[in-house]
Structures are given as C-alpha cells and as structure tokens.
Amino acid sequence: MGKHKKEILFTLMILAAAAGLWLATHHGSGTVAVVRYGDPQVEQRIDLRKDADYDIDTGTYTVHLHVENGGIAFVNSPCPDHLCEGFGILQNAGDWAACMPARTSITIEEK
C-alpha cells in the first residue's frame, strides 16, 4: 500500500471515530434523563433515544416534558413563573433543570 493510500485510510479512520463520538454526545445515546419529583421524592428515568411527551403529576402540578432528538425540556409549564421552560433542551451528561413550584428536577446522566 502506498504512502498516499495509508494517509487516506488513516484520515477516514479518524473521521469515523469523530463521527461516532459526536453521535454519542449529541444524540442521547448513552444518556438518560433522571426526573425527580414530589414529596417524598420519586425518581423516573427517561431514555432520550425515543422521542415522546410525558405528563408527570407531581402532586402540586402536572409537568409536561418533551423528548426529541436526544434532548428533554420542560414545555407548557402550568406553574406561575414558567422559569423551568427557560432552561431549554437538556441533552449532555451533567445538564440540569428544575421547576421549583412543582418540586421537580431533571438531571442528564450517563446510562
């Protein structure tokens, strides 16, 4: 194999590895949303690989969560201040959001 072909093969291998890493970190594979709510706290784990909507009765409010393209967000909040909607889409390990009036938090964790 010539030097030029080896360089092309090496470049393709690096690009494939980079694409795999990007998919793993940007499309929810390997991550889960951990939703904690209520008093006493209940924990629900939501797989971010499947687009879906969740309505969770926290005992105070029913929070609405939307999962799409590997991320999750509070949507159409019934609480008075709607601050939780401002957190936007959570998709990377360590991302966190809360709706204090509903006593609900979301944390993104590795599976």
**pTM to 2 decimals?**
0.73
Which residues are within 8 A (CB) of 9 and not within 5 positions of it... i.e. 6 or more apart? 1
* pLDDT tens by residue, 62-82: 999 999 999 999 999 999 999
76 φψ region: left (φ > 0), alpha (ψ -120 to 50), beta (else): left
pLDDT at 49: 94
